[in-house]
């Protein structure tokens, strides 16, 4: 069975987005770029404009599609970046917002293309899955007050 490919719909920025994500995530590669071969008045594309840009990050395949301005990203779809250290959280938090992204809360952000990401600590998921509901509750309460996740503060809440 073939693996899933995540398709990200852009207006005109598919190739730019692919290059951006490949700069942020070091374990990736660019694939084929297909171009419109005929005028497409429905989508406002001209011959030679990028139709799709294939890329792979951390073994996950993506297809950036330049389909026009009809659909926008929403928070209903996001990708999680699981981080083992605060340094990783800090890196991805800053890198994914570079060039016009915006922070949200609880480790969520939007990149400059409007796509949502969750920059999450692996320690957070471990603490929330713990058997002690009081500890997990303190961690959840601390996280709800955060924008970028602070691992030390989460661990402090867990410890009580």
Specify which residues 78 forms β-bridges with: 116
What is the chain's length?
Answer: 160
Output the pLDDT for position 45.
87
Query: CATH second-level architecture of 73-160?
Result: Roll (3.10)
Q: Mean pLDDT of all residues in the chain?
A: 95
Q: Over the stretch 120-151, which tens digit does the pLDDT of each residue have? A: 999 999 999 989 999 999 999 999 999 999 99
Q: What is the pTM of this model?
A: 0.93
Mapped onto helix, strand or coil, the DSSP state of residue 156 is helix
**pLDDT tens, 69-120?**
999 999 999 999 999 999 999 999 999 999 999 999 999 999 999 999 999 9
Quickly name the fold that domain 1-71 has: 2,3-Dihydroxybiphenyl 1,2-Dioxygenase; domain 1 (3.10.180)
Identify which of 86, 65, 59, 57 has the alpha carbon closest to the alpha carbon of residue 155. 86
pLDDT, mean of residues 4-30: 97
Rg of the Cα atoms in the chain = 19
What pLDDT, on the 0 to 100 scale, is given for residue 34?
Answer: 98
pLDDT digits (tens, 9 = 90+) for 43-73: 788 999 999 999 999 999 999 999 999 999 9
Query: Domain limits of the chain?
Result: 1-71, 73-160
Residue closest to 18 by CA, chosen among 59, 48, 57: 57
């Amino acid at each position: 069975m073939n693996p899933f490919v995540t398709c990200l719909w852009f207006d005109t920025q598919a190739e730019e987005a692919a290059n951006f994500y490949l700069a942020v995530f070091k374990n990736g590669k660019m694939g084929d770029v297909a171009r419109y071969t005929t005028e497409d008045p429905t989508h406002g594309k001209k011959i030679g404009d990028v139709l799709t840009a294939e890329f792979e990050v951390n073994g996950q395949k993506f297809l950036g599609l330049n389909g026009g301005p009809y659909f926008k990203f929403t928070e209903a779809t996001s990708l999680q970046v699981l981080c083992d250290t605060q340094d990783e959280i800090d890196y991805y938090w800053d890198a994914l917002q570079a060039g016009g992204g915006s922070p949200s809360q609880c480790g969520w952000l939007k990149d400059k293309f409007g796509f949502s990401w969750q920059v999450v600590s692996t320690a957070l998921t471990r603490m929330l899955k713990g058997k002690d509901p009081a500890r997990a509750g303190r961690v959840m309460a601390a996280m709800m007050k955060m924008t970028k996740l602070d691992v030390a503060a989460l661990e402090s809440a867990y410890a009580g």
